[in-house]
Amino acid sequence: MTQTDAFTFDAPEEAEPMSPGQLMRRRALNHTGFLIGSGIIVTLALIAIFAPLIAPHDPFVQSLSSRMLPPVWDPAGSWDHLLGTDQNGRDYLSRLIYGTRVSISIGLGAATVGLLIGVTLGVVAGYFGGWVDHAVSFALTAQLALPGLLLAMALVFIIGPSIWVVIGIIGVLHWTYYLVVTRAATQRLRNLDFVAAATASGATPRQVIWHEILPNLIPQIIVIFTFELGIAILAEASLSFLGVGIQPPTPSWGLMIAEGKQAMFYRPWLVVLPGLSLFTLVIGANLMGDGLRDITAPEGRN
Amino acid sequence: MTDQSTRPLVELRNVSRKFGSKGDIADRIAQRLKLAKPKPVVHAVDSVDLSIRQGEVLGLVGESGCGKSTLGRVVAGILPPSEGDLYWKGSDRSRLSFADLKAADLATQMIFQNPMAALNPRMTVEDIVTEAPHSHGMIPGDRRAYADRYLEMAGFDPAMKRRYPHQFSGGQRQRVNIARALAVQPEFLVCDESVAALDVSIQAQVINLFMDLREQLDLTYLFVSHDLGVVEHISDRVAIMYLGRIVEEAPVEEVYARPNHPYTRALLSEVPRIEVGKRKFEAIKGELPSPLDPPKGCHFHPRCPFAMDRCRSEVPKIREVASGHRSACHLNDG
């Protein structure tokens, strides 16, 4: 039904050439995965931004008389605490809403830090080759040989936990995928004739990298970014779960899972709800990334 | 146009281009200790002397793998030569000032064989054409009008300039490539098998376009091709290349009427002609030898029907056999 509609809409394309912007907008509206993914991400981002307005309770206020209340669908649940309360009697929904802030900012922040390091090294190594490439490859092997989570734990332990430290450390430990992929893609692109043509037209290495190489790396970078976004969020959850990430009482989904694990078999929602939230955010990021890759490709994909 | 007195625009003196690496530190130590053999080196271009005069079309012909594309890239300034000197308008390129070198680079543009690979897939046609002239400040007024002018010159409908390269046919893409090259106002075009990837009717159109542009813009061409028919049609002079060396060089009528080098003769006997009958067809025997391990002496001797002992040991020097006709064969000494 909607598929056929989209098809008849496609037909007059040859008659009236669209600007690249229009074309992308139309592709975005036809891309189911992108619509779902960006819907999830935008919703979660809005929740994070407007957390104080949405949250029904203060996420930090403890109430020992109402500890571990079940969610509303449970026979013992009440409408006062929609998703129940935790071990300290804090409203679980409010804590989940505030936890969105931590997860999204750590995911975006750490994936961006990794992107800057990995793409810079990858493009430089792939473009210049020679000893630069040897040096970068050595750094890559060294990084791959390090046990990531253990190192992150040690670093957080030494520097001291704060959200900025966690973002920085997760980012600094997650640049290898960017490097491997952009290095290989740059080596391939560097030998294509349009790079030779740009060189012949007097383009400096910087211009070649910015105008010829990087635009052609966008699809790979987007995919890895969304992939790393998920990994960074999970890494934060692991660190918080192990007690070296976000410190209580700040609500973080990973921390909430950690705190709920003792009561997991009697009060499963304490673990399931933050787990589901993490799952939704990671899925949303991946769907949106795949969609962006398809939409921004000049030839389009669906 | 083949006037001897016209000064050369580009001149190659004893230019070689090798490919291959010395290997990393471990390899080099192993080689020093005689534990490993030196890495193989390909002599793609081997001591070539060539001059291209202002305003002429020089055809460069040879089999696949003989190094003609590499030579084209060296001439275009995309690949630096491993040895030898390149002269631009009489001055050594390696001694040019930065500004002069840049001007020489811009004045030399290349049209590639694969028109898709030569266009950045993420840029619109308009951006592809105007990128370089814009960054060099060569566009006086409106960027769009500038793109229109050069696209029209290359026979490409400017109404389609907001589209991406993948939306066009091979012929149209090649026209975009030509527009891109023309947009930096070059004097010299290196066409590396520029029509080989196109079908025959489009080939004819693009070749005619090259000829028209030559008249309009006073261009000089190095036309690299394996297609002797196309080269005969378009060139003023022809250079024949075999395994990295130029074996014969002469005005086009001279080469086709009185080929001197046995390789040229064999090559020309393979061109399909309209005249029927009475023509003995003899293919060149054997394959092109590996450039990793070229034959000693004259590179052509293993396949040459006239090979003598001397050909196996001594490299024939290229020398004049008639006015403007140079050839590298020991038979001419006899």
Which chain B residues in 18-37 lie under 8 Å from chain A, judged by CB atoms? 24
Q: Which residues of B are less than 8 Å from A218 in CB distance?
A: 122
**Of A19, A198, A199, which has the smallest distance from its Cβ to B162's Cβ?**
A19
Preferred mutation among B78, B120, B189, B224 to probe A, highest tally of A CBs within 10 A? B120
Name, in order, each residue with C-beta under 8 angstroms of B322's C-beta and a sequence gap of 6 or more. B250, B254, B258
Considering only residues B62 and A85, tell me which one the structure prediction assigns the higher pLDDT: B62
Q: Which residues of A touch B114 (CB under 8 A)?
A: 193
Name the band, by pLDDT with cuts 50, 70 and 90, for residue A2.
very low
Which residue in the block uniquely carries the two structure tokens 């566009």?
B139
Residue A123 pLDDT greater than 90, yes or no: yes
Q: Where do the domains of chain B lie?
A: 8-333
- Residue A128 inside a domain? The answer is yes
Residues of A in contact with B106 (CB under 8 A): 201-202
H or E segment and range at residue B189: strand B188-192
Q: Does the pLDDT of residue B22 top 80, yes or no?
A: no
Round to whole Å and give the CA distance between B199 and B205. Answer: 10
Q: How far apart are CA A21 and CA A25, in angstroms?
A: 6
Does A196 lie at the interface with B, CB-CB under 8 angstroms? yes
Give B19's contacts (C-beta < 8 A, 6+ positions apart). Answer: B41, B42, B44
Segments forming the whole domain that contains residue A185: 83-93+103-275
Q: pTM of the full predicted structure?
A: 0.79
CB contact under 8 Å between A193 and B120, yes or no, is no
Residue A13 resides in a domain? no
Q: Is B158 within 8 Å of chain A by CB?
A: no
Q: What is the pLDDT of residue B238?
A: 93
A216 CB neighbours in chain B (<8 A) are 120-122
Which chain A residue has its CA at the smallest distance from B113's CA?
A193
Q: How far is A84 from A74, CA to CA, in rounded Å?
A: 9
In which band, very low, low, confident or very high, does the pLDDT at A115 lie, cut at 50, 70 and 90? very high
At B260-313, the pLDDT tens digits run 888 888 888 766 666 655 555 556 667 777 777 788 888 888 888 888 888 888
Surface of A (1-30) touching B: CB under 8 A: 17, 19-20
Nearest CA-CA distance, residue B188 and chain A, Å: 12
Looking at the complex, does the CB of residue A197 fall below 8 Å from at least one CB of chain B? yes
Q: Which of B76, B106, B166 sits opposite A202 (nearest CB)?
A: B106
Query: What class is the B8-333 domain?
Result: alpha beta
CB-nearest to A202 from B136, B160, B164 is B136
Q: Using 50, 70 and 90 to split pLDDT, how confident is the model at A259?
A: confident
Residue A34 resides in a domain: no
Continuous H helices in chain B: 25-32, 68-75, 98-107, 125-135, 143-153, 170-182, 200-217, 228-234, 252-257, 262-269, 309-313
3-state SS class at B9: strand
The per-residue pLDDT for range A184-210, each reduced to its tens digit, is 999 999 888 899 888 888 888 898 999
Asked if B134 is an interface residue toward chain A (Cβ–Cβ < 8 A), one would say no
Closest residue to A197, CB basis, from B163, B166, B180? B180
Residue A17 in this model has a pLDDT that exceeds 60 = no
**Which of B114, B135, B162 shows the shortest C-beta gap to A207?**
B135
Flag whether residue A135 sits within 8 Å of chain B, measured between CB atoms. no
Total domain count, chain A: 1
Q: What is the CATH number of the domain that holds A219?
A: 1.10.3720.10
Residue B106 contacts A where some CB pair is shorter than 8 Å: yes
